Structure 1
Amino acid sequence: MQYQALANTDLKVSKIGLGTWAYGDDTFGSVEDKQSIKAIRAAVESGINLIDTAPAYGAGKAEKIVGEAIKDLRDQVIIATKCGTHREGSAYVRDLSPAQIRKELDLSLTRLQVSQIDIYQIHWPDPDTPLEESLAELLKLKKAGKFKYLGVCNFELDLLKKISKLTDIVSLQPQYSLLERKIETKLIPYLLQTKQSTLSYGTLGGGILSGKYDKKPEFKDEKDNRANFYPFFKEENWQKTADLIKELKNIADKYDKTPAQVAINWSINQPGITAALVGAKTEQQARENAAAADFKLTQAELIKLSQKSTAVIKELTQK
């Protein structure tokens, strides 16, 4: 495993982090709690020390699973969780009011079974609450020792600049993969210039970049809603990804790796990416994800994948 300093902190995070959305048991299909715990522990055993979660993942369930998995591993992991988005039934509600932030943080600490969170992140912007009000409460809670460092997720450049002028932000968590590269044009240059870290999510595009689907999957499990979040699974987009998936498979065969490992390796070797978050439902997936940092793509292969990616993204965005 490779590790990199999280900008302006005393933390070194694994280049591959563990995303835990699936453990909420309501978005990526049914998962068994004991297996989720085994997957988390396998990830840590394989060198992954960054675990990212959120109250919105299964209305707190993912945090509980993480807490149970790491209760005797606390000194081996860096815990990142979030505030500002909670569940009301199937709906995701954005609320960064001070009262909601206080409530969410205390609940997160309880579920995770920790006394302090390492990286506390605003999950999504809340247009109905002034950022200054949210930030004032967050800084009070930071001063009280409830979390060490503040980060943000899903912020566009203007809002990132605004909050960065108000306080120190250590990281941005945006979506980024071979199929989603919008952050390269404005956000990555700004983050590099200001020495802020990038913890990217969606590294496998909801699983499409794993190469395991020979045809468009039909997610019949009522708990599998990934097709509503990732547009690549839509009928009109499915075939457009074929050339990229084929190239991933060709390179994977050369290294005796999986297409998923090649896609992850591409992500962690892009400018400005501090760590790429990847989900794992099983122990095997967790270990394979971690091993994606243990080989090196050539510059020619990185460029070829980027070129294929650019062509596919152009097709995906055409009306």
Structure 2
Amino acid sequence: METTRITTTQLGQTGLEITRVGFGAWAIGGGGWEFGWGPQEDQESIDTIHRALELGVNWIDTAAAYGLGHSEEVVGRALAGVDERPYVFTKASLVPGPGGRVLHSLKRDSILREAEASLGRLGVDAIDLYQIHWPDPEVDIEEGWAALAELKEQGLVRHIGVSNFDTAQLTRIQQIAPVETLQPPYSLIDRHIEDEILPYVAAEDIGVIVYSPMASGLLTGAMTRERIAGLPDDDWRKHDRRFREPQLSRHLALVERLRTVAARHDATPGAVAAAWTLRNPAVHGAILGFRRPDQVESVLTAASLVLSDTDVTDIEATIRTELSA
């Protein structure tokens, strides 16, 4: 099997040594639900996971909500028979609702049921990192977090964390059990965590894995107006404001600047966008979504891509100019 050494780091205080980039399994959950990415070919998804593992990626991030369980099923199928299993991270708190929509629940019994179902779909005895997907309903975050702590005590999950929490919410649940990891969105077009959240988690030594570093495909260099227009109706991005005017023109202009920087490093715009998130010392890993085996290698360069001060100045100056326009 072909292997490539990818830079690794300790994920906070978990003791997990993770590659700087991980495989994001949101898209491979397919369509048919409110945040789906349109139809996917399961065997192609499995082949893509295998390619990422061949190239050295050692963790996969999924969620029970992705495809309403289908993503976890595909990940489980991909890992069956794998000699060296990667770390498997998944999430709870979004449950199936009517018409392909998801409902939020942080009730203890709901969380415990979700964990049992995820273990079965993934085909593992314990989940390496179990996360609350969203802090909603906020009144129940303590109950949901206590349920995750209970699962850890039972040995059904090895580490526990949260996604999309702010500092006040993190402080509240820290009183129940230590928060080991945080998974927030972070990209060149979504930098809100820089002011308060990243300094907080750095001070608390909480591990951080960021999602959507390439802004759900916007910053890959492959997204065009024509491609957006041709997205399936059940691809959530087709209706998202970031993929529509007036924001779209600003984002595509940023991609052209990323393309210029990428040319200096023989890389892709998406790899540069992901590498930019990894420059922040509070960020331990970035989740990258792939849907075809041939997409994997070019973006994995983000794990070892070192951007110069000139590169960063060029990129960030462009952002300031575009946002002030």
State the TM-score, normalizing by the size of structure 1: 0.93
Q: Check conservation: 1:179, 1:313, Cα contact below 8 A.
A: no
Q: Which amino acid aligns with 1:34?
A: Q
Q: Check conservation: 1:16, 1:289, Cα contact below 8 A.
A: no
- CA gap 1:267/1:214 in 2 versus in 1, 3 angstroms: same
Instruction: State the distance in 2 between where 1:258 and 1:282 align.
Output: 16
- CA gap 1:171/1:311 in 2 versus in 1, 3 angstroms: farther
SS in 1 for 2:96: strand
- CA gap 1:72/1:309 in 2 versus in 1, 3 angstroms: farther
Q: Which runs of 5+ in 1 are unaligned?
A: none
- CA gap 1:270/1:310 in 2 versus in 1, 3 angstroms: farther
1:1-319 equivalent positions in 2, closer than 5 A:
1-26=6-31, 27-73=36-82, 75-88=84-97, 89-127=99-137, 129-215=139-225, 217-228=228-239, 230-313=240-323
SS in 1 for 2:185: coil
Corresponding residue pairs, total: 314
Q: Deviations over 1:23-64 (max 9, x none)?
A: 111122221000000011111111111210001000100000
Q: Which amino acid aligns with 1:295?
A: L
Q: Which runs of 5+ in 2 are unaligned?
A: 1-5
- CA gap 1:186/1:219 in 2 versus in 1, 3 angstroms: farther
Instruction: State the distance in 2 between where 1:29 and 1:146 align.
Output: 32
- CA gap 1:234/1:63 in 2 versus in 1, 3 angstroms: same
Identity across matched positions, percent? 32
Q: CA deviation at 1:8?
A: 1.1
SS in 2 for 1:29: coil
- CA gap 1:212/1:130 in 2 versus in 1, 3 angstroms: closer
SS in 2 for 1:240: helix
Instruction: State the distance in 2 between where 1:277 and 1:96 align.
Output: 24
Q: Check conservation: 1:180, 1:313, Cα contact below 8 A.
A: no
SS in 2 for 1:222: coil
Q: Deviations over 1:47-104 (max 9, x none)?
A: 1112100010001000000011112337441111011112223212110111111110
Instruction: State the distance in 2 between where 1:307 and 1:250 align.
Output: 14
Q: Which amino acid aligns with 1:244?
A: L
Q: CA RMSD in A?
A: 1.7
Q: Check conservation: 1:96, 1:129, Cα contact below 8 A.
A: no
Instruction: State the distance in 2 between where 1:303 and 1:224 align.
Output: 34
Q: Deviations over 1:252-305 (max 9, x none)?
A: 122221111111111112231110101000011122222222332212212322
Q: CA deviation at 1:224?
A: 1.2
Q: CA deviation at 1:234?
A: 1.4
Q: CA deviation at 1:20?
A: 0.6
Q: Which amino acid aligns with 1:70?
A: L
Q: Check conservation: 1:83, 1:120, Cα contact below 8 A.
A: yes
